[in-house]
Amino acid sequence: ADPPLVKYFPFSSVIDTGFWHLLAHKKLNAIRLDDSAIDIVGYYRTDLSLNLRPLLNVNYESFEKYSDATKECHPMYGQLLVTNTYEEFVNKDKKLLINGVAKEIWKDITDGTGAQHPSQSLAKFALLVYADLKKYKFHYWFAFPGLCFPDKTYLTNGSPKVLASVWSENNMNTLYAKYTTGLDDDNKTYFIVFVTDSEVSVHALQEYSSLKDRTDGKLYFAFADSCSSDEYPGWPLRNYLALIAVHFKLTECSVLAIRLRERSVKTSLLLDIEWRTPASAPTADTIECVGWEKNEKNKLLPRVVDLSALMDPIRLADTAVDLNLKLMRWRLVPSLDLDTICATKCLILGSGTLGCAVGRGLLAWGVRNITFVDNGQVSYSNPVRQSLFAFADCLDGGRPKAVAAADALKTIFPNVNSRGVQLSIPMPGHPISEQLIEKCREDVELLETLVDEHDVIFLLMDTRESRWLPTVLATVKNKLVINAALGFDTFLVQRHGVRRVDTAVADAESGQLLGGAAAPVSAPTPSSSKMTDHSGGGGGGPGRSRKVSGLELGCYYCSDVVAPGNCTPAYSELMCDIISLPNGDI
């Protein structure tokens, strides 16, 4: 009876998400409709844990044309074919495709290239892909061509033996040291190990002629094995035996399957293999091979990966923004309510320096609903100071500031729901002509609607009086107001008070930021606020301080003894000129 056949453990593919993302980019910007083969590189490791399947990894770096081998990681060179339609993918001649790669391997074996550059010649693969970029689905099929020559290989000395059961500890340590330091990159995958009673040495395949006649030791054809099983060698051995049979004209050999685990070669396998060479070797046109990868159901069919939730750049951006905030919550502020922040609707009155900065800041905090209000156009002096505008916004008289700011936010983060409203806010001290009365009423109604629709109002306008009407409306509507202003050397940031229902008093007193519409109630009594005595005594004498809750905060105008009026110098000068007209007309 014939001895048992050698069985080879095939590769399983593992493709990182980064590979698909880069492929999608290349398909749109470089590959386009070109269906010619693209050179890529994959990697397999020799340090897998026991009984893990041999894995070929393809990742973001696979489009690099060359990769250095390391002692644990070895490159496999392949061809990527991207079809333009799913029908092309299905109807592609799979036998012709895998045979084309097999012909290249066989040519390298027969002309001597395989012995000179084994790592680039013997282990190759093909990857057939259809990329559905509308749905971000990728259909793919790997082929790892294994030559059917010799057609049958036999184990002549029983089952494979683990190296630790045969070799001494000293020999294994010597082999590990010399393998990791004594070979160049091109010979780390396929090489020769020669063992004598006193020495273990490693050699490139080209040195076989000087070693084959030595009688003082044993020669092993070694290779970096992708498999971790104690019973089977990995797929790279298959084409290696074809090289040994054709180039070195042997019918038997000893094989050492190198596996590195825990900085040792002790889990490597020893195999004694023989085969029967046919009377005539096949040609490049007649060589046969196997190697199409089976899918998850163990059938010879392609695989499909759906990355629609990950590959869409807009969704990726959304995930990345949320991740930053979640890390902040996980590490610093466990009580941070990101869902509430995200759902908060913010109204930004004023789209200048402050409005642009606040809009960007709200994006960073995960706010998704932002409305800008302004009545001006972008001028040439704005872009250098106001971060949401560019030079193009100044052309042709300038775009409306509110609209330009809203569009800029969408450019920065497409998932934001931003809009711009061009609106003039009526101001105390600024007279209105009869022709503009109706327009003024419309503006007030629109402003009231906007205040109704939003949870938080930011007052970021240029003048003091422009903040008066929004402050009154926000107070009536019981909305949270944030007031900010810049001077030449001063600034102001102020939160206005907000009235809440009695059940929310405790939340307000604890300092929680309150927003959203709520039923207005009467102002809270002093008993609803916390009193803290720092004087050491009772009563209301000096030293007694009071912690004021958000319910009792006033507004920008509460302690102002001057009624809001026109504070624009240019306008005041104009009014003086008008008043001093000789005929007395105003």
Least confident of 64-73, 266-275, 477-486: 64-73
Alpha carbons 408 and 426: distance in angstroms, whole number: 27
DSSP 527-576: GGS-EEE-SSSSSS-TTEEE---GGG---TTTT--S------HHHHHHHH
Distances (CA, A) of 513 to 500, 509, 537, 582: 12, 10, 32, 56
CATH code: domain 344-499+553-558 is: 3.40.50.720
Per-residue pLDDT at 576: 40
Residues 433-448, mean pLDDT to the nearest whole number: 91
Instruction: Quick: pLDDT tens for 326-345.
Output: 877 777 788 888 889 999 99
Per-residue pLDDT at 508: 42
Alpha carbons 20 and 311: distance in angstroms, whole number: 8
Does residue 517 register a pLDDT over 60? no
Residues 5-24, mean pLDDT to the nearest whole number: 93
Does residue 507 register a pLDDT over 90? no
Does residue 186 register a pLDDT over 50? yes
Instruction: Quick: pLDDT tens for 79-96.
Output: 999 999 999 999 999 999
User: Domain residues of the chain, as ranges?
Assistant: 12-308, 344-499+553-558
Instruction: Quick: pLDDT tens for 418-440.
Output: 999 999 999 888 888 888 889 99
Architecture label for domain 12-308: 3-Layer(aba) Sandwich (3.40)
Does residue 105 register a pLDDT over 70? yes
Residues 244-264, mean pLDDT to the nearest whole number: 94
Residues 32-45, mean pLDDT to the nearest whole number: 92
Per-residue pLDDT at 238: 96
Q: Percentage of the chain with pLDDT > 90?
A: 62
Q: What is the mean pLDDT of the chain?
A: 85
Residues 36-41, mean pLDDT to the nearest whole number: 95
- Helix 468-477 and helix 437-453, axial crossing angle in degrees, nearest 10: 50
Per-residue pLDDT at 550: 61
Per-residue pLDDT at 548: 61
CB 44 within 8 A of CB 237: no
Residues 403-417, mean pLDDT to the nearest whole number: 95
The strand pairing partners of 125, in sequence order, are 78
Instruction: Quick: pLDDT tens for 460-501.
Output: 998 888 999 999 999 889 899 999 988 888 888 988 887 765
Residues 396-418, mean pLDDT to the nearest whole number: 95
Selected residue with higher pLDDT from 544 and 50: 50
Alpha carbons 126 and 100: distance in angstroms, whole number: 10
Distance of CA 315 to the CA centre of its chain: 10
Instruction: Quick: pLDDT tens for 107-133.
Output: 999 999 999 999 999 999 999 999 998
Does residue 569 register a pLDDT over 70? no
The strand pairing partners of 41, in sequence order, are 77
Instruction: Quick: pLDDT tens for 279-332.
Output: 788 999 999 999 999 999 999 999 999 988 776 778 777 877 877 888 777 777
Instruction: Quick: pLDDT tens for 23-36.
Output: 988 988 888 888 99
Q: Percentage of the chain with pLDDT > 70?
A: 86
515 falls in which pLDDT band (50, 70, 90)?
A: very low
Instruction: Quick: pLDDT tens for 192-223.
Output: 999 999 999 999 999 999 999 999 999 999 99
Per-residue pLDDT at 115: 95
Alpha carbons 321 and 314: distance in angstroms, whole number: 11
Residues 53-72, mean pLDDT to the nearest whole number: 81
pTM listed for this prediction? 0.61
